[in-house]
Structure 1
Amino acid sequence: MILYLNPFTGLAGDMLLGALLDAGASIDAVRRAVAMTGLTGWRLEAERVRTGALVALRVRIDVDDDATERPASALIEMASRAGLPVAEAALAAIAEAEGALHGVPAAEVHLHELGGHDSLIDIVGCAAALGDLGVTRVHCAPLPLGGGTVRTRHGTLPVPAPATLALLKGALVRGGEAGEAVTPTGAALLRAAGAVYGPAPEMELLATGYGAGTRVLPDRPNVTVAMVGRSLAAPGRQVVLSTNLDDVTGEVLGHVIARAMAAGAADAWATPAVMKKGRPAHVLHVLAPLESAEHLQELVLAETGSLGLRRHVVEKVALPRHFETVKLYGHQVRMKRGPWGVKPEHDDLVVLAEATGRPLRELAREALDAL
């Protein structure tokens, strides 16, 4: 599925989440994903509100813990438990941006305004909603920058906030009126999802959602608009990108694979190879939907430093599958069911194994027995 965003008055994490829920994402799927992070003392609701001349969906997060400061590393670790690469990538991008601005390594960044319950819920919730809608590609219209100043723990800062500007590198932007139109959370989610900026792509429009912001504007509704559609490209036709790499570390290779998956790749993997003069190497492969091939090609070349790659079109056969959920030792375990069998999600089993101390293979068997 393709998601096209129209940030009519701006984009914040709660506005994006509201728009995705209004477009059909399951709030129960969002709640389950947030619960998997281990976060406690929160409630997530959604209500229809009038903003200007429109009715839109506004998310409401109630928390028992009003702390707004946490280490970025702690938030990333919590998000990893939900098994949502977009959420991890968004938080990592925030940590990198804040670290660069304040001269602190990303691993040591302590988030102030962005360290609370609501930021983690917005980020994990949006990642879960994108997954529930089956979104593999995100497009976005130019973003309004806003203007003026904002009060933070670091004092008064210009709008857009420095972290927001760092996260929007490469985005298309336009002028805007006074106020914070795009938040760091919104900008980080766009970066993590590999958003492509410009006009709406050619697609079959299936659903539309309106997410309401909290500001009351005198002359217009304060909304982000989400449009979900199906690509008109030939079904099953995708592009394989491949490049030989003998000068990148295993850590870089793993990073590129994770980034490609977060940016909409259908799959990504590496195979060992021996190149000329007996040099050990890897061949990186990225399976890309036709509409994401150019973006993923740029990502692979930029991240690896490779001077070229190969492209060939393939026909992908994908059997239908869906997720079911079982409860085991107080934890939710997702079960992927296809025409010929069912399998528990490995990431969920890892979380459960760490929580219970039980062997992974035994938990896998118990999850199957619980169906």
Structure 2
Amino acid sequence: MLLGALLGAGVPLAVLQAAVDAVSPEPVRLEVEKVRRGGFAAVRCHVVVADSTTHRTWRDVRTLLGAADLAPAVRDLALAVFARLAAAEGAVHGHPADEVHFHEVGALDAIADVVGVCAGVVHLGLHPGAAAAAQPAAQPGGLTVSPVAVGSGTVRSAHGVLAVPPPAVVELLRGAPSYAGPAGAPAQELCTPTGAALLTTLAAGWGPQPALRVCAVGVGAGGRDPAGHANVLRLLLGDPVDVAPRAGGPGGAPGAGDTTTEVVLETNVDDLDPRVWPGVLDALLAAGAADAWLTPVLMKKGRPAHTLSVLVVPARVAAVRDVVLRETSAIGLREHPVTKHALPRTLAGVDLDGHRVAVKLSTLDGRVVTAQPEWDDVARAATALGLPARTVLARAAALARDLLD
């Protein structure tokens, strides 16, 4: 389904095939078929392979990926998917991850599924880490995944008959929203371990569709066409848009600008080397945080500490949470929604002895009420002019006052 959705959304077949060819030790061919599911047009991508009885371990798959001529982002993403899958299989079967035999998952078609999807996601710039490489103004939101339909009933596997969802799917979706499936749907498996590993690795957030200006839609089809619902996975691509109430609109104070609901993540840390904090704040902003700051606090037993606070849009909460837990010594954090009121902002500029200094203007009720020189421009101008930064800042602020209403 994921391969079909990516193709339907505009990823060239050649991009997926080249990635599959790079990693597969045997010929694997991707074939595209236009189908209908539940009365809707969709794209099904067939992975055509010769019969094989090879069962590969996570170590085997890791070797294949490491030797493949793949783009680094594609390789890293595929490795992350298989590592997550191996960890889940190891947990449910009681084996170290490196010793896990993937059975169906180690087959060539499953390897092609994972590598092809990773190549398509990277082609679209939706992979984790793409936000850090993008221009700050773009504010990419990554992939938001809706609750996962897992199915019901039983399924036959290499380990015998298993209840749906299978143990590996349950382990992989731990902490992610899931449900049995559409009301009245026949009892069947709707999410495989491979699909669950892909979704949980790729997701930047979980929930309903965020506000988007949709520019492309891909509808990927599954092999079955059950009665009662369309067996498809839909991918919407678009640019984030601001649909917050405007000045005087519902939910907003008159003239107050934009009103949005965001999330604040907080944690108290008393055992982190303070030299690490600047890098932590940079990593949080690169992951999509709107702001991040530290507040000195005094904790129990008189220990000095810092409260780390991060403001972030809901779609980037998961990515930002991962940064906090990975880059700091925190062992937990708090999250709560907040209502944010932001004045409309534009950029202007002033000339200071031949050096342009950008000025951020904020308006209230249509009037410019603040005009603040951008510090980076002030610092560059001070260096170029050989003047103290505070002197250049004072001169730029004086010029900026002429922009006030």
Normalised to the residue count of structure 2, the TM-score between the two structures is 0.57
- 2:108 maps to amino acid: H
- Determine the structure 2 residue equivalent to 1:140: 145
How far does the alpha carbon of each residue in 1:279-307 deviate from its partner, in whole angstroms, 9 at most, with x for none? xxxxxxxxx99675432221123335337
- 2:219 is equivalent to residue 210 of structure 1: yes
1:51: Cα distance to partner? 2.0
**2:10–2:216 Cα contact (<8 Å) kept:** yes
2:81 to 65, 90, 112: 90
| 2:48 counterpart of 1:66 | no
What do residues 206-234 of structure 1 show as CA deviations (whole Å, max 9, x unaligned)? 1111111011212332111111111237x
Match for residue 22 of structure 1? 8
- Which residue of structure 1 aligns with residue 320 of structure 2? 297
- State the distance in 2 between where 1:28 and 1:213 align: 21
User: Could you list the runs of 5+ residues in structure 1 that have no partner in the other structure?
Assistant: 1-14, 234-240, 267-287, 310-371
Aligned to 2:259: none
2:175 paired with 1:170: yes
- Aligned AA (1:45): E
| Matched ranges for 1:1-371 at <5 A | 15-67=1-53, 69-80=55-66, 81=68, 82=70, 83=72, 84=74, 85-136=76-127, 137-176=142-181, 177=185, 178-232=187-241, 265=287, 293-303=316-326, 304-306=328-330
* Number of residue pairs matched by the alignment: 258
- Give me the whole-angstrom Cα distance separating, in 1, the residues matched to 2:270 and 2:59: 30
Call closer, same or farther: CA 1:294–1:78 in 2, change over 3 Å. same
Give, in whole Å, the separation in 2 of the partners of 1:19 and 1:38: 22
Instruction: Report the 3-state secondary structure (helix = DSSP H, G, I; strand = E; otherwise coil) of the residue aligned with 1:125.
Output: helix
The structural deviation recorded for 1:165 is 0.7
Q: Aligned partner of 2:325: which letter?
A: A
Is the contact between residue 41 and residue 65 of structure 1 (CA under 8 Å) also seen in structure 2? no
Q: Are the aligned partners of 2:211 and 2:241 in contact in 1 as well (CA < 8 Å)?
A: yes
* SS at 2:203 equivalent: coil
1:176-207 CA-to-partner distances (Å, cap 9, x unmatched) read 34100111111100111134211111111011
Share of identical aligned residues, percent? Answer: 39
Q: Report the AA paired with residue 80 of structure 2.
A: A
- 1:141 deviates by 1.4
AA matched with 2:85: I
C-alpha displacement of 1:164:
0.5
Q: What is the deviation of 1:36? A: 1.9
Q: Hey, what's the Cα distance between the residues in 2 that align with 1:308 and 1:63?
A: 45
Contact 1:87 1:192 in 2 (8 A): no
User: How far did residue 116 of structure 1 move?
Assistant: 0.5
Q: Which residue matches 2:132?
A: none
| Residues 265, 292 of structure 1: 8 Å contact kept | no
Q: Secondary structure at the match of 1:46?
A: strand
In 2, distance between residues paired with 1:231 and 1:68? Answer: 44
Tell me: CA distance 1:202–1:65, structure 2 relative to 1, closer, same or farther (3 Å).
Answer: same
SS at match of 1:225: strand
Q: Separation in 1 of the partners of 2:271 and 2:16?
A: 41
Whole-angstrom distance in 1 between the partners of 2:223 and 2:192 = 13
The amino acid across from 1:22 in the alignment is G
Where relative contact order (Cα < 8 A, 6+ residues apart) is larger, the structure is 1
Match of 1:274 in 2: none
3-state SS of 1:165 partner: helix
Contact 1:68 1:113 in 2 (8 A): no
How far residue 138 of structure 1 moved from its aligned partner, in angstroms, is 1.0
Deviation at 1:62, TM superposition (A): 1.2
Alpha carbons 1:150, 1:156 under 8 Å: kept: yes
Distance of aligned partners of 1:231 and 1:77 in 2 relative to their CA distance in 1, 3 Å threshold: farther
Whole-Å separation in 1 of the counterparts to 2:26 and 2:271: 45
Deviation sequence 1:37-57 (CA, Å, 0-9, x none): 243221111110122211210
- Residues in 2 aligned to 1:289 and 1:64: alpha-carbon distance in whole angstroms: 48
Contact persistence 1:51–1:216 (CA under 8 A):
yes
In 1: Cα distance, 2:13 partner to 2:77 partner: 18
Q: What CA distance in whole angstroms lies between the structure 1 residues aligned with 2:63 and 2:270?
A: 30
- Name the SS of the counterpart of 1:305 in structure 2: coil
Deviations 1:78-135 (A, max 9, x none): 2343232221111111100011111111111111121101111111111111111222
The structure with more radius of gyration: 2
The amino acid of 1:121's aligned partner reads A
- Cα distance in structure 2, aligned partners of 1:29 and 1:245: 48
Distance 1:148 1:294 in 2: 33
The question of whether the paired residues in 1 share the 8 Å contact of 2:33 and 2:45 is answered with yes
